[in-house]
A = this chain, B = another copy of it.
Amino acid sequence: MTKPEISKLGYVSLVSTDLEKSLVFFKEVIGLEETEVMDGVHYLRAWGDFQHHTLSIRQGDRAYVSHIGWRTKQKEDVLAFKELLENEGINVQRIEPWTTPGIGEAIRFTVPSGHTFELYYDVKKPAADEKRASVLKNQTYKAWAKGISPRRIDHVNLHTAEDWKETYSFFQDVLGFKLREYLKEDDSNQILAGWMSVTALVHDVALVSRQKDELPTPARLHHLSYWVDDSQDVLRAADICREHGLNFCGPGKHSISQALYLYVADPGSGCTVEVFSGGYLIFEPDWEPVAWNASERAFGNTYWGDSITKKEIIKHTIEA
């Protein structure tokens, strides 16, 4: 049996304590499009996302990420992953096809970092309704309809208080993520944060180790991220966030990934969204992970701009 593979980040399933506020935030400020509303769950995507949704959001008693969905490379990878995971002693839940609108047969499980992941292959890629559809055949919706108007989902950033060794080897060895850049202790190889991808992006997922007493629960989402095409779009996002009275950090440029950032919190769920642009792509098949020492953390985080080191918003995470 060939090793099953993940092709891409699919979607984040978010629960908000104030759905109304969250919808204003994601639809009007971020500018996502709504594909469908079913059973009180709103399915959203960016104008350049192809899959049915890249974010789902519903009302709940507490704000948290229910699970994070990843698409496999092939249909048979879903069950192959099930077998592989069970061999690793992981408890795997099977989800009936299309239980989640737009998502076919799926499996869900808890990774060693404590987060719930979902794997699936079959998806619906519904066209936009005529009024919102782009005149371009290769683009889902018209761009620039509302708010910041990102092109597509980019990555998730997860925080964990669980064992770093187990976590990183699981992400790499079992799930097949490649380590692209990482932050380590100055005097040891202990990884403090890792940027990992299955794509040419520097990261589809970042994993940050935190002390147990730093986190209310052991597994957290720090942020999910949407991509904009141009640097100036990040500046425009700052204008928009300021005018909406939102709490944000940025614009700034990361050294790690070289990307521009702006972090803004959804006032409904407390979930942080990173508006992201620039950076580099990795096409080299023998990429040597770039190591940053703990003493370089501030520079690694912020090449220039509004530093994320001391901002309150940057310390915030939600349960995941």
Q: Are B137 and A290 in contact (CB under 8 A)?
A: yes
Q: Which of A74, A121, A238 has the most chain B CB within a 10 Å cutoff?
A: A238
Q: Are A283 and B199 in contact (CB under 8 A)?
A: yes
Given the known interface contacts A242-B303, A242-B304, the answer about A285 and B51 at a Cβ–Cβ threshold of 8 Å is no
A55-63, A90-98, A156-164, A250-258 - the one binding chain B: A250-258
Integer count of this chain's copies in the complex: 4
Among B51, B143, B239, B304, which residue has its beta carbon within 8 angstroms of that of A251? B304
Per the bound structure, the CA–CA distance linking A239 and B7 in Å amounts to 30
Q: How many whole Å from A104's CB to the nearest CB in chain B?
A: 12
Q: Are B245 and A135 in contact (CB under 8 A)?
A: yes
Per-position 1/0 for A180-214, Cβ under 8 A of B:
01000000000000000001110000000000000
A18-26, A33-41, A169-177, A225-233 - the one binding chain B: A225-233
Chain B residue numbers with a CB within 8 Å of A251 are 251, 304-305
**Is A127's CB within 8 Å of the partner chain B?**
no
Q: Are B71 and A285 in contact (CB under 8 A)?
A: yes
Chain B residue numbers with a CB within 8 Å of A253 are 235, 238-239
Chain B residue numbers with a CB within 8 Å of A72 are 285
Q: Are B144 and A240 in contact (CB under 8 A)?
A: yes
**Is A138's CB within 8 Å of the partner chain B?**
yes
Q: Are B239 and A285 in contact (CB under 8 A)?
A: no
Per the bound structure, the CA–CA distance linking A137 and B258 in Å amounts to 10
Q: Are A307 and B304 in contact (CB under 8 A)?
A: no
**Is A178's CB within 8 Å of the partner chain B?**
no
Among B50, B138, B235, which residue has its beta carbon within 8 angstroms of that of A258? B138
Chain B residue numbers with a CB within 8 Å of A101 are none
Given the known interface contacts A51-B284, A143-B243, A284-B8, the answer about A258 and B304 at a Cβ–Cβ threshold of 8 Å is no
Q: Are B50 and A284 in contact (CB under 8 A)?
A: yes
Nearest 8 interchain pairs by C-beta: A8-B283, A142-B243, A7-B285, A238-B304, A200-B200, A232-B232, A73-B285, A138-B290
Can you add 15 more A-B contacts, CB < 8 Å, to A137-B292, A230-B230, A242-B303?
A73-B285, A134-B243, A136-B303, A139-B280, A143-B243, A144-B239, A152-B281, A199-B200, A200-B200, A229-B231, A229-B278, A230-B232, A230-B278, A239-B304, A305-B306
A residues neighboring B (CB under 8 Å) = 7-8, 48, 50-51, 71-74, 121, 125, 134-139, 142-144, 147, 151-152, 181, 199-201, 229-232, 235-236, 238-243, 245, 248, 250-253, 255-258, 260, 278, 280-281, 283-285, 290-292, 303-307
